[in-house]
Chain A
């Protein structure tokens, strides 16, 4: 999801000025160029149609199928039963939990990342470059391993618990609770928030803030009336980049969560892996999550398309 990728501009890669002579030739050249472009992209698109679009279609088809008593998927009896089950109380509980965990994760990330990105963006260029590298290294490090590190830290005989005990706080259990999951999610996705915020703040024209200050705005007013509105595209982009993977999280709740912290991602996985499998129901859940994701992504591109 990159906004350094410009929106497809409408300008063709050839001259569109009204042809004076040889119009036929130019039209032929145009046609040849666009055929060539299509052919260059064709193998990749064919691959994506075969191994992405088709699987997507199959999930939708499966969501209307039924499950036999033995757990197999029956592809002859089509119905909406799996979708009807989306309003079961268990599903609603899990969906609600995923929603608030993802929302809180997003807010916490924003609260931590905004001042951090602001600090970064006001450093001299050379220091900025070094600090950015320091943000990128954990960002690209293996996600599973980083989540596992928290399992160790928060565990019963782990350093974190030890530390709390040493200062006299006993019986704090973070591992296997929704709070533990949230710590893991914030840790995992914080850079997704930092980078868009930094990009928005770094590009900010500081003379605007100076102008506000010259006109007797307090530091707080200048921030609230100038900096914040100008950084809003970064806030929106970062929030959606954190919200989408948190909402569909599977690995983090599996590793850091317990019985009371199942999220939608793990609930979907359970419909496919293990004995209680129900593929049509799992498919319906996947379609539902996809719809939520599409709404969030549309908001992202709206915000990004206008402002970034």
Chain B
């Protein structure tokens, strides 16, 4: 089952009187466990949000509700710079990764050619590799490449927003490709053939038939890429340079120095952003179901 996509809820229901239904006592224990799990999942988030409105300088001690830390957050130049950097990186890397990932998904699912299996492996690896390994790889790569460029041309490149964007594209291509591919796998290739039979050229068939059909997959992949780019702290920490801090890298750095109420407010800002993205993804995936994917 997929981690990339929401699993469906379309499986068979267990009938009310079925023997497969757990006994009442068992069912009650299961229900209790389920509520505990939901409490476990949501309580920390709720506490974080509540405490971000706490006026006290010390994080854990509640005095009174105020918007003080939100005010400080919007007045803090470093936080606002980091926010701007994060958004810029996310948008650019998502745009590039969506185009490349969609092409890769199409190529993987709709065609057969030699060497495809090697490419397949190349697409899967960035998904399963631990963040820290990817971060180390890319750091060494940029350092080494920039050294070689300097030796060859005398031009000194340095790490910054550009390197973060390049790094984010390299893991996001795979995620977009896998989502688009899953969408394509559920489609009937006959529709494209019909378009070809009706004298559409290849570009027309793609533009008028394939693209509208895979559009929910492309949109879902793009939203996933945005989320992952905004989520990334490890890779960005390694491949960023001076003055190119993203918001998660800023928060991570600040946490190492200690917890401040300002970080609570920044965290809630990030949380709200990512929850908006999830809700959009869910809306898109609902559209996907209703359009018969």
Taking a contact as CB atoms under 8 Å apart, the answer to whether A286 and B3 are in contact is no
Also in contact, A157 and B58, with CB within 8 A (given A2-B4, A144-B231, A293-B129):
yes
Check A237–B233 contact: CB distance below 8 A.
Answer: no
Give 1 or 0 for each of A221-234: 1 = CB within 8 Å of chain B CB. Answer: 00000000000001
B9 at the interface (CB under 8 A from A): yes
Chain B residues in 8 Å Cβ range of A139 = 278
In the complex, whether B41 has a CB less than 8 A from a CB of chain A is: yes
A227 to chain B, nearest CB (A): 9
Q: Does B169 contact A (CB under 8 A)?
A: yes
Name the B residues within 8 Å of A205 (CB-CB).
Answer: 12
Contact indicator per residue, chain B 271-288, by CB within 8 Å of chain A (1) or not (0): 101110111011000000
**Which residues of A sit under 8 angstroms from B185, Cβ to Cβ?**
4-6
List residues 27-83 of chain B with CB under 8 A from any CB of chain A.
27, 29-31, 33-34, 37-38, 40-42, 44-45, 47-48, 51, 58-61
> What is the bound-complex CA distance between A111 and B127, given in angstroms?
26
Partner of A52, one of B112, B170, B251: B170
Within 91-135 of B, Cβ neighbours of A (below 8 Å) are at 100-101, 103-104, 106-108, 110-117, 119-120, 122-133, 135
- CA–CA, A62 to B191, complex, Å? 50
Which chain A residues border B205 with CB–CB below 8 Å?
none
In the complex, which residues of chain A have a beta carbon less than 8 angstroms from the beta carbon of B141? 51, 54-55, 58
B133/A272 in contact, CB under 8 A: no
Known: A5-B178, A124-B13. A41 touches B255 (CB 8 A): no
Main secondary structure of the interface of B (DSSP, over half): helix
Question: What size tier do the contact residues of chain A reach?
Answer: 35 or more
What's the Cα separation between A112 and B34 when bound, in Å?
9
Q: CB within 8 Å of B: which of A145-166?
A: 145-146, 148-153, 155-159, 162
What 1/0 flags go to B7-22 for Cβ under 8 Å of A? 1111111100011111
Nearest 7 pairs of A and B residues by beta carbon: A37-B111, A199-B1, A41-B107, A248-B130, A157-B60, A55-B141, A149-B44
Sampled A-B contacts (29; CB under 8 Å): A2-B4, A5-B181, A38-B107, A38-B113, A41-B104, A41-B108, A47-B100, A47-B170, A48-B174, A51-B169, A53-B122, A54-B141, A115-B30, A115-B34, A122-B20, A129-B9, A131-B34, A133-B282, A138-B42, A145-B48, A146-B44, A149-B44, A153-B47, A187-B40, A190-B40, A206-B12, A245-B131, A286-B136, A297-B128
Interface of B with A (CB < 8 Å)?
1-14, 18-23, 26-27, 29-31, 33-34, 37-38, 40-42, 44-45, 47-48, 51, 58-61, 100-101, 103-104, 106-108, 110-117, 119-120, 122-133, 135-141, 144, 166-167, 169-170, 173-174, 177-179, 181-182, 185, 189, 202, 227, 230-231, 233-234, 237-238, 248, 251-252, 255-256, 259, 263-264, 267, 270-271, 273-275, 277-279, 281-282
